[in-house]
Amino acid sequence: MLNGIITAMVTPFESSGNIDIKATEILIEKLIANGVQGIFVLGTNGEFHVIENDMKIKFAKKVVEIVAKRVPVYAGAGGNSTDEVIKLGKQMIAVGVDALSVITPYFVSLKENELYNHYQMIAENLAIPIVLYNIPKNTGINLSFELVSKLSKISNIIGIKDSSGDINNIAGYIDNTSRDEFSVLSGSDSLILKALKIGATGAISATSNLLTTNNVEIYKQFIAGNLDKAEQWQQSLEEFRRILKYASIPSVLKQSLSLSGIEVGVPRLPVLPVTNPNDNQDIVNTIKNYYHL
C-alpha cells in the first residue's frame, strides 16, 4: 500500500539544459533525511512534458542509484500514445524504478471505454505497480468513480493520485475502491489532512521539495492522533502555496529551492523565471521567513 508523504520532485537542470546530478543528489538526501516515504520523478512539477525520453531514462536511472532502495522511486511514464507509454514504461522498469505513474492522456477527449482500454493495455504489458494520475485542469479528463473502481480491480494498478483539488473527488475514489492494496493519494497539498481524515493513505506533494518537515509532520501527527498539531502543520503550507501562484509551474518552486540553498536551476521553456520585481521580493521574504535566513 502507498502511504505517507511522497515528494513530487523537481528536475534539477544545469544552465546547459542537462540534468544537474549534484543538485539531484543533494535534494534527494535532504528529502530522505527528513522522512519522506517515496520519491516521485517526472511528474508535473518534474517537467515531464518538456523532457525528451532519453533524458527521462537517464534521470530515472540516476535517481534510482542515489536512492539505493531507501524509499520507493516512482516515475512518470504517461503520454497520449498507449504504445509510447508502454515503450517508456519498459525502459523505466529496466533502470529499476519501483512503480510508474501514468497520467491520463491529454488534448483528446476520450470515452470511458477508451480510457479503460488504455490503462488495461499498459497494465497488461508492464510487470510493475502502476499509479493512476488524475489532474483534470491540465488534461481535460477527470477519471470517473466508476472507471477508477473498475481499474482498481486490475492487480498491478495499485492507487491513484488525485490532483483535481476537489475533496469530493478524493472521497468518491475512496468510496468506490475497496481493494486493500489500492491507495488513494492527495495530489493537492492544500487537502492533505482533509484527505487523510476521510481515508486517503498519503499524498504526492510538491511543496515537500522545500517544506519537507512540514509535510511529513502532517502525516506523522495524523497517524499519532494529534489532529490539532496536524492542522497546524497543514496551515503552515499556506504562505508558501500563496507565492507559488506568481508564475507557471514549477518556476516559483525551483526559485525557492535555489534560495534555500539547493540550486536546481530554472524551468525549461516555455516557462520563464519570475520577472516581476515585487513578486520576486515577496518570494525572497517568504523563503527567509520559512528558513529563518
- The catalytic residues are 133, 161
* Rounded Cα gap, residues 38 and 60, in angstroms: 14
Q: Do the Cβ atoms of 132 and 161 come closer than 8 Å?
A: yes
Three cell numbers, residue 42? 517526472
Q: Do the Cβ atoms of 150 and 119 come closer than 8 Å?
A: no
> What amino acid is encoded at 216 in this protein?
V
* Rounded Cα gap, residues 19 and 2, in angstroms: 28
Q: Do the Cβ atoms of 220 and 251 come closer than 8 Å?
A: no
* Rounded Cα gap, residues 263 and 282, in angstroms: 19
Among all chains, which residue has been given the C-alpha cell 504526492?
204
Q: Which helix (H) or strand (E) holds 193?
A: helix 192-197
The CA-based dihedral angle spanning residues 141, 146, 151, 157, taken in that order and rounded to the nearest 10 degrees: 80
Report in angstroms the alpha-carbon separations of 39 from 8, 27, 36, 104, 278: 7, 11, 8, 20, 33
Q: Are strands 202-205 and 38-41 parallel, antiparallel or unpaired?
A: unpaired
Three cell numbers, residue 267? 524551468
* Rounded Cα gap, residues 20 and 10, in angstroms: 11
